[in-house]
Amino acid sequence: MATSAREHAHAPAPSKTGLWSWLTTVDHKRIGILYGASAFIFFLIGGLEALLIRWQLRIPENNFLSAEAYNQLFTMHGTTMVFLAVMPLSAMLFNYLIPLMIGARDVAFPRLNAFSYWVFILGGLFMNASFLFNAAPDAGWFGYANLTSKQYSPGMNVDFWVIGLQILGVASLAAAVNFFVTIINLRAPGMKLMRMPMFVWMSMITQVLLLLAFPVITVALVFLLTDRMFGTGFYIPAQGGDPILWQHLFWIFGHPEVYILILPPFGIVSEILPVFSRKPLFGYAAMVFSGAFIAFLGFGVWSHHMFSTGLGPIADSVFSLTTMLIAIPTGVKIFNWIGTLWGGSLQMKTPLYYALGFIALFVIGGLSGVMHASPPADLQQTDTYFVVAHFHYVLFGGAIFAMVGGAFYWWPKMFGYMLREGLGKVQFWIMFIAMNLTFFPMHYAGLHGMPRRTYTYVAGLGLDWLNLVETIGSLGLAVAFTLFMVNIFVSFRGRKANPAPADPWNGATLEWSIPSPPQEFNFPEIPTVEGRDPLWTAKRKHGGPLPEPKRVDGSNIHLPNPSYWPLVTAIGMSIMLIGFMAGGLPVNLIGVAILFFGAFRWAFEPTG
């Protein structure tokens, strides 16, 4: 980025390196990297929690962990993986890729983008700070009422959870507005909606889901907060409240949340498969509409998480049928991915391995999903390890495989050097085998009577060896991710010898038309788009690979100034919410003051 030095008469020359430059950055690429690095660290923490869980369960009646510690760990594992790992990993890709893929210089609201990140990281740190007080959340990531009431959870554990999630929700909502507006408004000339890369489509649908689903959990959490802090009784039977209200609100958010987690990986896979098959995505329109249909139906199926509450035969039937209906657009996606491979010329590079692994494993998760879409069968399976197996095939076999594939695919673009192919493939095989060893036996454990969220199980139920295999598998997963970090380290050390060209994979989308890593302004000139897969069209016209794009002087390109007000505002908002838990009204008010001060200065800051 040395060539993009620029001067502004009315602003101090922004420094390009150092801590301060990261704290004040509004560059979507830097914010993307911040998201990615933070999310990966949280992913490692969540993974460590999972390993401790597995170590406890490797033998029956183990005393490695106390019941309290175990309950904190499984709650934090779920909460961390959903809100602090997979969602922000998606946010990393939204940030980094959406502007590049649609031919824009930044997101629509760069400072709001920085604000989202700061709120997210403060929420994540706050949630994990609970461990320092030995009061990590311990009522499950689903936090069912009335266990979460002050009467049954008097400690700070649930407070950390409620306030942490509220903070994180603000980050998600702000980001969702931002990306939605970015995709609608900032597309390059000619980039019609039906010409957008599939990742951008899936991202846009995800933003709509976020915008509609997060207000629901926000309301649910506000009820819980006031129940706990101010003695209201939304979820308390003795006060005329009903714990089932929480379940409805939570799952009206919770099921769309599943698609918030999995649609971006669908997008990743839909980018990788065509490039490494050297063939366009099969059934583009069907892919778009099936994604939209999945999202739409996703709001009408929440009660499939509640069959065991006894909703009655009519509700059970309706929610069962809508749930089964979702299998159809999901099936269409899987068939279209295979259709993309079919007749292609498969280049067996690392990203493709993970995309293929994604399909193979996601199918299993989809099929077990159909099994508990049937309420009678679900009455046996719900709250057992069968369900744990199901969603780990979807979220680990699905989302995480796609994310790792995406990491190998876009790493050269983001950092300017290639990751090692050989190590990546070895990691794939370890991950693929270990993943199945860890999660496949869970189907049997569940069907043979092992409930979820239990800190131990008794000998003699036939569950011992299944659990032992699962634990061995989880160690394999630890090896796989250690290898990933080794790969990053080794590749970074050798980056000079292995620089990434602009277009290492024969890509189809605009991000491959600019240098790796991109310059701060992304595109020296905003490209004009004439169809889908614009880079392939350009290469075909040119009759072969394009010349390596030059780094240019972008000093005349207008970019937003760095700003620390988003960080200040984020800190104010977090303090305001934390006041509900510690310090009370004075802390709330200090937070509000900082929040307003930050927002005010932000609003009247010269934007360069």
Partner 1 sequence: MRHRSGLLTLFLMLTVIGIAGCGGDYPQSTLTPLGDFARMVDDVFRGTVRWALVVFVLVEAALLVAIFKFRGKPDDAEPDQVHGNAMVEVVWTIIPAVILAFIAVPTVKTIFRTAEVPTDAMEIEVIGHQWWWEFRYPTEGVVTATEMHVPVGQKVVLKMRTADVLHSFWVPQFAAKRDVFQARYTTLWFTADTVGWFPGQCAEFCGTQHARMHSWVVVESPEEFAAWTAAQRVGSPLVNGGVVAPDTTVPAPPVDSVVIKGQDAFVAGGCISCHAMVGTPLAGQLFEGNTNAGPNLSHVASRARLAGGMFENTEANLRRWLSDPQLVKPNTNMKLPRPLTDDEIATLVAYLQTRR
Buried b (16+ CB within 10 A) or exposed e, 264-299: bbbbbbbbbbbbbbebebbbbebbbebbbbbbbbbb
382 binds partner 1 (CB under 8 A): yes
CA dihedral 104, 107, 109, 113 (to 10 degrees): -160
Tell me the Cα Rg of the chain.
24
Strand partners for 417: 499
> Does 374 sit near partner 1 (CB under 8 A)?
yes
> Cβ 279 to partner 1, closest distance in Å?
5
Closest separation between CB of residue 264 and partner 1, Å? 22
Instruction: Give the number of other Cβ atoms within 10 Å of residue 537's Cβ.
Output: 14
> Closer to Cu ion at the Cβ: 40 or 396?
396
> In this structure, how many other beta carbons lie within 10 angstroms of the beta carbon of residue 470?
23
Binding mask 457-496 for partner 1 (x = CB under 8 A): xx-xxxx-xx--x---------------------------
Q: Site residues for partner 1, window 297-316 (CB under 8 A)?
A: 308-310, 312-313, 316
3-state secondary structure (DSSP) of residue 153:
coil
DSSP 420: P
| Four-residue CA torsion sign, 22, 24, 28, 31 | positive
Q: Judge contact between 349 and 418, C-beta under 8 A.
A: no
In the complex, the smallest distance separating the C-beta of residue 384 from partner 1, rounded to whole angstroms, is 7
Compare residues 306 and 419 and give the one whose CB is closer to Cu ion: 306
Least separation in angstroms between residue 277's CB and partner 1 is: 7
The residue assigned the tokens 């998600």 is: 172
- Mark out the alpha helices in 58-156 (DSSP H runs): 67-79, 87-102, 110-129
Give the contact letters, 128-147, x = binds to partner 1 (CB under 8 A), - = no: -----------xx---xxxx
* Minimum distance from residue 525 beta carbon to partner 1 (Å): 28
Q: Which partner, partner 1, Cu ion, none, binds residue 255 by CB below 5 to 8 Å per kind?
A: Cu ion
Q: Is 18 in the site for partner 1 (CB under 8 A)?
A: no
* Least Å from the CB of residue 473 to partner 1: 10
Is the backbone peptide bond immediately before 146 cis, with ω within 30 degrees of 0?
A: yes
Examine residue 110 and say whether the peptide bond preceding it is cis (omega within 30 degrees of 0).
Answer: no
Least distance to Cu ion, CB of residue 369, Å: 8
In the bound state with partner 1, the residue whose beta carbon lies nearer, of 465 and 492, is 465
**Nearer of residues 238 and 603 to partner 1, judged by Cβ:** 238
Query: Is 335 among the residues that bind partner 1 (CB under 8 A)?
Result: yes
1 binds partner 1 (CB under 8 A): no
Q: Is 242 in the site for partner 1 (CB under 8 A)?
A: yes
**Residue 451 vs 584, nearer CB to partner 1:** 451
Residues numbered 394 to 453 that lie near partner 1 (CB under 8 A) are 429, 432-433, 436-437, 440-441, 444, 447-453
Among 155, 300, 344, 416, contact with partner 1 (rule: CB under 8 A):
344
Neighbours of 563 (CB within 10 A): 25
Picked from Cu ion, partner 1, none, the partner binding residue 309 (CB below 5 to 8 A depending on kind) is partner 1
Q: Which of 509, 270, 259, 277 is nearest to 394 (CA)?
A: 259
Selected binder of partner 1 within 360, 486, 582, 593 (CB under 8 A)? 360
501 belongs to the binding site for partner 1 (CB under 8 A) = no
Q: How many residues are listed for the chain in this entry?
A: 608
Residue placing its CB nearer to partner 1 in the complex, 365 or 566: 365
Closest to 456 in 3D by CA, of 14, 60, 84, 99: 60
Identify whether the C-beta of residue 570 lies closer than 8 Å to the C-beta of residue 126. Answer: no
Shortest distance in whole angstroms from residue 244 CB to partner 1? 7
- Among residues 38, 128, 270, 381, which is the contact residue for partner 1, using CB under 8 A? 381
Q: Which stretch binds partner 1 (CB under 8 A): 119-127, 373-381, 475-483, 511-519?
A: 373-381
Residue nearest to Cu ion (CB): 255
Nearest CA among 185, 2, 183 for reference residue 97: 183
Q: Which of residues 245-284 bind partner 1 (CB under 8 A)?
A: 277-280, 282-284
Where helices occur in 347-420 by DSSP H, the ranges are 350-373, 375-381, 385-394, 401-415
**Interface residues toward Cu ion, by CB under 5 A:** 255
Contact 478, 47 (CB under 8 A): yes
In angstroms, the CA 569 to CA 577 distance is: 13
One-letter amino acid for residue 270 of the chain? S
Among partner 1, Cu ion, none, what binds residue 134 when CB lies within 5 to 8 Å by partner kind? none
Ordered DSSP codes for 519-545: PTTS-SS-----SSSHHHHHHHHHTSP
- Ramachandran region of residue 396, left (φ > 0), alpha (ψ -120 to 50) or beta? alpha
Q: Is 380 in the site for partner 1 (CB under 8 A)?
A: yes
Partner touching 324 among Cu ion, partner 1, none, CB below 5 to 8 Å by kind: partner 1
Quote the least distance from Cβ 188 to partner 1, whole Å: 22
* Strands (E) located in 156-289: none
Is 292 a binder of partner 1 (CB under 8 A)?
no
Query: Which CB sits closer to partner 1, 106 or 159?
Result: 159
Number of residues that bind partner 1 (CB under 8 A): 101
**Between residue 71 and residue 100, which ones bind partner 1 under the rule CB under 8 A?**
71
Smallest gap from Cβ 440 to partner 1, in A, equals 6
CB 81, min distance to partner 1, A: 17
